[in-house]
Amino acid sequence: MRTLARVTLLIAALAGGFTRAEPPALQALPDLAVSTYMGRWYQVAWFPNRFQRQCVSDTRADYRLRPDGRIEVLNRCTLADGRTDEALGLARPVGRLQDDRLQPAQLEVSFLPAALRWLPFGWGRYWVVDRAEDGRYAIVSEPTREYLWVLARTPQLSPADETAVRATLQRLGFDLSRLQAHPHSAR
């Protein structure tokens, strides 16, 4: 009997009986009021990545709309030795930007030196995939779900917002085991 059960399990596994369902394709929000997105955001949770590995705490981004419709992005964080690291980048709309509305809520962001931003590489996808109705937090990712940032207007989410964000991430097909809180000091 045990041999038959093992053979049945093996056949089911080989036939795809134990395949994991793929999450639905990730979508950016269909619409974003750009002016309401400007200002300071704190990174409160994220999927750790290679280009931010030096940042141990206090990561924040300041967004400023430029007259040409592009967005200046100033990222700052605290390093392990207490110094501050800073990177100035540029975001450009992927979709249509008209009358303060970005449709869909997709940007490309580059932190390359300004003289190299004409190159076809060095631009990362930046999709706002969810946002609190009043704009107090936002979830940012890209189509492969490899990168994820949970941003908030304050250095910490409320317990209710944290629960709502986790539920949204799960619904959107993110691997919650990769999610890490990002600390902020009381400066």
78-132: per-residue pLDDT in tens?
999 999 999 999 999 998 888 899 999 999 999 999 889 888 888 999 999 999 9
Q: How confident is the model at residue 2 (pLDDT cuts 50, 70, 90)?
A: low
What is residue 7's predicted lDDT score, i.e. its pLDDT? 41
Token couple for 23: 């999450």
9 vs 4: CA distance, rounded Å: 9
Dihedral angle at the C-alpha atoms of 175, 39, 160, 24, nearest 10 degrees?
-30
What is residue 120's predicted lDDT score, i.e. its pLDDT? 82
Asked whether 140 and 149 are in contact (CB, 8 A), the reply is: yes
